[in-house]
Amino acid sequence: MFSAASPVIGDSRTQSSGGPGLQPHGRDFLLLRAAAGCVCRRCRFRVAAEMAAPGDGGTGPGPGPGSGSGLKRLAAAGDLRSVLITSVLNLERLEVDLFRGQHHWVPATRRLFGGQIVGQALVAAARAVSRDLQAHSLHCYFVRAGDPKVPVLYEVERTRTGKSFSVRSVKAIQHGKPIFICQASFQLAQQSPVQHQFTMPTVPPPEELLTQEELIEKFLQNPNLAERYRKHLNKIQAEDVPIDIKPVNPPDIFCAQPQEPKQFFWVRARGYIGETDMKVHCCVAAYISDYAFLGTALLPHRQYNIKFMVSLDHSMWFHAPFRSDHWMLYECESPWAGGCRGLVHGRLWRRDGVLAVTCTQEGVIRVEENPNQSKL
C-alpha cells in the first residue's frame, strides 16, 4: 500500500580536454560525450555498458564508485544520465540476495511511491539471474504501508532456475515486517511463429503536446482558480518526479463532469540510459508504470473528493525490447470499479507501434460521499 547511492562524476584527478577530472575515453568523459551526441561508433558499446552500471557483477543498476547523495554534483558536472539509474533504482548489496534501497521521490501522501518499490524489487530479482535471461512478467502485492523515513530491504529467494524459465521471489521489508511481496519470472529468448498484437491507438505525437509541468503552469495562470487547488497544483509542480510526461487528453480540472475511464500519456525516463541490458529498461518501466495509473478509475467520478487511494497489487508483462528513455505511449483504461476498489489496465507502446509492456493494477479507492464544489 504505497502511494541509493549515486556515482559521482570527477573521481579521477587527471585533467583533460573533457573538463576537470575527466580522462580522455575514460568512463565519465564517454558519458558526457554520449549526452552531447559526440561518441564514435567504436565507443558506443562502452557507453551503453557504463549506463547499466551493474557495479557488483550482477544485472541491472548497481552501486558504483564514489557512492553518496551526489545528484546536485552530477547535474553540476553536466552528467545527463537518468536519475532513475544513478539513484532511484541503484540498490546496495548487503549480502548474497539481500539489498537495500533508498527513496528519491515521496508523493504528497507521504507514503512510498509504489512504482519505486516495484522497480527496486525487479532490480533485486534481476541481480539473482544470469545476464542472458530477460524479465517477462512480475506479480506483486502491497501488504503494508511503507515508511518514507527508513530504507527498504529486499530479500530475494531463488524459487526456481529452469532451462527456459526462472522465478525469483522478492520480499520488501521495513521495521522487520514485509511491506511488499513480488514474484518475477525470467525467460531465455526463444523464437516462435505464433505472434500477434493489438493495433496502437492513433494519437498526436509527443512533439505536439505540452508537458505536465507546462499544463500546470497554464492552469495556474487562471486568476479565478480557487486557492486550495492552486496550492495543490503548486505542490505537484514542486515534486521532483524523474519522469517526462505529456498527457494526450488531459482532463479539464475546472470541470467535475464524469469522463470516460481512459487516458493516454507519452512517458519516458528523464535523462540518458542508452542501449543496455533490457532488464534495466524493464526496471525503469516498472517505476513509470505506477504513475497516475490508478487515477484512471476516478475519471467517471470526478465530482467526489478522494479520502484514500492506494495500490493493492500490480502485474506486468514484458513483450518486446524497448528503450525506457525514449517516448512511449501509455494507454490506461479502467474496465470496472466497485466495492471501494478500482481496476486499471495499461499498455506501453513503442513509437513504431510495437506493444512493449502490459500492466494491470487494482487499488483501494475511498471518497467523500458529498460531491465537491467547483474549482473556480
Active site residues: 290, 311, 361
Place of cell 548474497: 96
CA atoms in the 13 A half-sphere facing the CB of 322: 33
Q: Under a CB-based contact definition with an 8 Å cutoff, are residues 323 and 275 in contact?
A: yes
Copy the grid coordinates of residue 121. 524489487
The 3 state secondary structure assigned to 133-144 is: EEEEEEEEEECC
Crossing angle of helices 27-35/41-52, nearest 10°?
Answer: 110
DSSP string, 148-205: TTS-EEEEEEEEEE-SSEEEEEEEEEETTEEEEEEEEEEEE----S----PPPP----
For residue 69, give the amino acid letter.
Answer: S
Copy the grid coordinates of residue 52. 547499466
Q: How far apart are CA 146 and CA 121, in angstroms?
A: 14
Copy the grid coordinates of residue 334. 479502467
Q: How far apart are CA 89 and CA 10, in angstroms?
A: 22
| Greatest extent of the chain over all pairs of C-alpha atoms, in Å | 66
Strands in 152-161's sheet, in edge-to-edge order, are 92-95, 98-101, 152-161, 165-174, 177-188, 133-142, 304-318, 355-371, 341-350, 328-338, 262-269, 243-247
Q: Under a CB-based contact definition with an 8 Å cutoff, are residues 7 and 28 in contact?
A: no
Backbone torsion region of residue 21, taken as left when φ is above 0, otherwise alpha when ψ lies between -120 and 50, otherwise beta: left
Q: Under a CB-based contact definition with an 8 Å cutoff, are residues 138 and 360 in contact?
A: no
Alpha helices in 185-269 (DSSP H): 212-220, 227-238
C-alpha angle 108-329-268 in degrees, rounded to nearest 5: 55
